[in-house]
Amino acid sequence: MAVKPVAEFPYANFWRSLTYFNLYRLALAGIFIFLAVVFGSSLSLGARNWTIFFAASVIYAVVVALSFVLLRLRWPRFVIQLAALVGGDIAALTVISYASGGILSNIGLLLLVSLAAAGMVSRGKITLFFAALASIAALLEHSYEVLYDHGVAAQYIQVGLLCVSYFAVAWLAHTMARYALESQQLAQRRGHDLASLSEANRLVMRDMQDGVLVVDEQGAIMQMNPSAARLLRHGAAPEGPLAENFPLLFGQYALWKMSGTASRDTLQLDAGMQARLRFVAVERDAAHGAVIFLEDMQRVRAEAQQIKLAAMGRLTASIAHEVRNPLSAISYAAELMQEERDDAKQRQRLLQIVLDNTQRINRIVQDVMQLNRRDRAQPEIFELDAMLRTFVEEFGQAERLEPGVMVLAGMPGVKVDFDRGHLRQVLWNLCRNALRYGRRLHGSLMLVISAADGRTMLDVQDDGPGITAEHRSRLFEPFFTTAADGTGLGLYIAKELCETNGALLEYHAREGGAGARFRITFGELQENGERA
């Protein structure tokens, strides 16, 4: 297949317009010939020289007819043919205008149509060149009249206005054509982008594991992916109202349209499968349809089970590793006790090793049992400072702290939504760590209540050496500890309990680099006291 020259590509879409323009030229030439034959010189057309008028009209018609052949062949190239057509109009209409009486015949106004057509078809500023040619032709024609046919020199003003009109029409037509072309190109780009987005949307919907249905404002199904067809036990995407195909789902959709919320999170489908529903309006409201997401609960449970089994496997391996060390110590101490029969002091030391390692195993087992209780949270809304005052008193007595070592500061009367037992356990772990590394001086352990962005925060901070940068990334990993007698589960359990209650536990280095600070960020409460 032949490749078109690069210069022709900008004009490839305008050959048809050029053909229509040539049809106009042929009709104009035919009208001139018809008027010349029927009415002769009785009209103003050909009033100065009927013979020149008729001959120019016939030649004009023949040239226009031959132009159709070149347009059919599309040779020579577009720009040359456009220039030839407009140039032919300028020459023919100038002669016809002279034969009809010059500027007073108003034949020159017909060139405005040719210039406008050239401006609409052509992209470049060649239209202004055509306007210049038409202006030169009009000036030369009138100058010839003034010099040889007793033309009126005062009519140069009319000729000048006509020339200005040529330039104005040519520039306006060119500008409008350029804007039209840019709009067309923009529409084509947008159409291409829309087609690409539509194809991407189809591929995403096809490969999504969740079911997706798109319904219009009348509740008719517009789109439905294979996952939704599988969940709803439908062989193919149905057409028609949602009420007729899936009445149970339509009931939830109608309820959501009225209230904005579905009556329940999960829906028992007609096919015996459970799905979690989520409705999203196509626009700001449901007046223009909605997207319905169906999340397969069996798949969600299977994925959760896999995650739980993987976590259990890692935890079991960590527990086995932690228990092996004290068991080895107990086994070694028992062997030595069998050999040392007479030394009571040595026997007492070995018994103490057995007791210490047994207590360590017991602490590991207790911590693991606390992990199992994190799912049984019973959150309640209470005043944080009142609960903390009781906790400070109990913790100080249990740890035999001097007055002033543990300080409570911050905002009074702040309410939080948390399980009291879980919060006590979290604070107990954090405060024991703070005491272990703190200096036990006045204000060494501080509990500070603050608020920011509508959320309450509780800081537990000490005046110890702080935590090194290399250890911060592993703080909340299970069984990670820098203490010789620690289990490494305290911070991990505290973080799990906070997340269970919708809170966040983070470590923040204190200003100046001295001491550690753990921050609990509680969940946001609404103005009526309920959780947001």
pLDDT value at residue 142: 93
Contact by Cβ (8 Å): 430, 517: no
Fold (topology level) of 380-521: Heat Shock Protein 90 (3.30.565)
User: What average pLDDT score do residues 488-516 get?
Assistant: 81
State yes or no: cis peptide before 326, omega within 30 of 0.
no
* Token representation of residue 190: 């947008």
Eight-state DSSP code of residue 510: P
Q: What is the DSSP string of 4-37?
A: PPGGGGGGGGGHHHHHHHHHHHHHHHHHHHHHHH
Res 496: pLDDT: 83
Q: What is residue 235's predicted lDDT score, i.e. its pLDDT?
A: 53
Confidence of residue 6 (pLDDT cuts 50, 70, 90): very low
Question: What is the end-to-end Cα distance of the chain in Å, rounded?
Answer: 68
Given this model, what pLDDT does residue 124 score? 66
How many angstroms separate the Cα of 367 from the Cα of each of 372, 374, 405? 9, 11, 27
Q: What does the pLDDT read at residue 12?
A: 55
Contact between 286 and 277 (Cβ < 8 Å): no
Mean pLDDT of 216-245: 76
Helix, strand, or coil (residue 58): helix
Report the SS3 class of residue 227.
Answer: helix
Domain layout of the chain by residue ranges: 6-187, 209-299, 302-373, 380-521
Q: Looking at domain 302-373, which CATH architecture does it have?
A: Orthogonal Bundle (1.10)
pLDDT recorded at residue 93: 95
Contact 239, 246 (CB under 8 A): no
Tell me the average pLDDT across 181-188. 87
Mean of the per-residue pLDDT values for the chain?
A: 81
Cα 299 to chain centroid, rounded: 27
What mean pLDDT comes out for the span 315-342?
68
Query: Tens of pLDDT along 359-384?
Result: 777 766 666 666 555 556 788 899 99
Contact 50, 40 (CB under 8 A): yes
Task: At 396, list the tokens.
Answer: 């100080």
Interval 437-463: pLDDT, tens = 888 888 889 999 998 888 899 999 998
3: pLDDT strictly greater than 50: no
pLDDT tens profile 33-84: 999 888 877 778 888 889 999 999 999 999 999 999 999 999 998 889 999 9
Distance, in Å, from the CA atom of 451 to the CA atom of 414, rounded to the nearest integer, reads 9
| Range 239-252 burial, b when 16+ CB lie within 10 A, else e | eebbeebbeebbeb
With 80 as the cut, is the pLDDT of residue 119 above it? yes
| Residue pair 426/388 in contact by the 8 Å Cβ criterion | no
Query: Is the pLDDT reported for residue 2 higher than 70?
Result: no
Question: So what's the architecture of 209-299 in CATH?
Answer: 2-Layer Sandwich (3.30)
Which sign, positive or negative, has the C-alpha torsion 336, 339, 345, 348? positive
Measured in degrees and rounded to the nearest 5, phi and psi for residue 277 equal: -95, 145
Query: What is the mean pLDDT of the segment spanning 22-34?
Result: 94
Q: How much is the pLDDT for 201? A: 82
Distance CA 474, CA 486 (A): 15
pLDDT at 409 over 60: yes
Ranges assigned E (strand) in 253-401: 266-268, 274-281, 290-296, 380-383
pLDDT at 7: 39
What pLDDT score does 164 carry?
A: 95
- The mean pLDDT value for 201-226 works out to 84
Q: pLDDT higher for 240 or 75?
A: 75
Cα(515)–Cα(521) distance, rounded to whole angstroms?
20
| Token pair 């356990």: residue | 425
Range with the poorest average pLDDT among 103-117, 126-140, 181-195, 325-339 = 325-339
Mean pLDDT, to the nearest integer, of 92-119?
92
Position 504: which residue type?
L
- The gap from C-alpha 54 to its chain's centroid, in whole angstroms, comes to 69
Tell me how far apart the alpha carbons of residues 337 and 352 are, in angstroms, rounded to a whole number.
12
Residue 530 identity = E
